[in-house]
Structure 1
Amino acid sequence: MAKVKAPSSSSEAKKIRPALTPEAEENQMIALATKLVKQRLIDGTATSQETTHFLKLATKKNRLEIERLEQENKLIAAKTEAIESAKRVEALYADAIEAMKRYSGHGGSQ
């Protein structure tokens, strides 16, 4: 069983403001877990899994994977923007054709 240290007077457990959303609560828990593992790494009590996790984060392969994902996100955003732009152009063409029909006297409403 893992030893649990009682908070000393110099490192009192800080009161954490309650999270307003589930996402904020998740972020708080991630921050707490990261702080705990950091302290365990400093103390030399981290598990091999914890140590390996952070070693993998430091690899060039991981940095390249993150960069690839960022580029994919940019590509998806660009494609989405292009689709939306094409829809706007299509609507403009439809409006222009309708205006030309009205101007030439072939339009139904005046």
Structure 2
Amino acid sequence: MGENSVARAKKSPRGRAATPEQQENQLISLAVQRAEEMLLDGTAPPSIITHYLKLATSRERLEQERIKAENDMLKAKADALAASARGEEAYKEVLEAFKSYAGGGVGLESDSDLQ
């Protein structure tokens, strides 16, 4: 099985990756396919067996959930910062509008004059 599937992988045209990310994904795919072949053939080294055993543990699943939650939290923080920046911009626009309504801004030196 090992030689036939490796020969198939070499014969099948994959095309050149357009980006480094695509190339990385192709290499990962090939490595996982090879690891699967070795596991099925019974020729996998202990490091490959250990790697996949660790992936199957509940601790690994919890770690992946934690990482996902952290990513979600960071995205929410970034969204909140962007919304805050938009709010500040809107606040400045409102202040400018108030200045123009108050006589074209004549006599207003700063935002503190509005308070």
- Give the helix-richer structure, 1 or 2: 2
SS at match of 2:11: coil
Render the CA deviation track for 1:73-101: whole Å, top value 9, x for unaligned.
01001001111111111111111111111
Could you tell me the TM-score, scaled by structure 1's length? 0.84
Q: Within 1, Cα distance between the matches of 2:7 and 2:30?
A: 20
State the partner residue of 2:82.
84
Equivalent residue in structure 1 for 2:67, among 59, 66, 69: 69
Structure 1 ranges of 4+ moved more than 4 A: 6-12
Query: Which runs of 5 or more structure 2 residues have no equivalent in the other structure?
Result: 107-115
Number of equivalences: 105
Distance 1:9 1:90, change over 3 A: closer
> RCO greater where, 1 or 2, for CA within 8 Å and sep 6 or more?
2
1:105 aligned onto 2:103: yes
RMSD: 2.4
Q: Within 1, Cα distance between the matches of 2:7 and 2:31?
A: 22
How far 1:7 moved relative to its partner?
A: 6.9
State the partner residue of 1:49.
47
Could you tell me the TM-score, scaled by structure 2's length? 0.81
Distance 1:101 1:40, change over 3 A: same
Render the CA deviation track for 1:36-57: whole Å, top value 9, x for unaligned.
0101000000000000000000
How far 1:21 moved relative to its partner?
A: 1.4
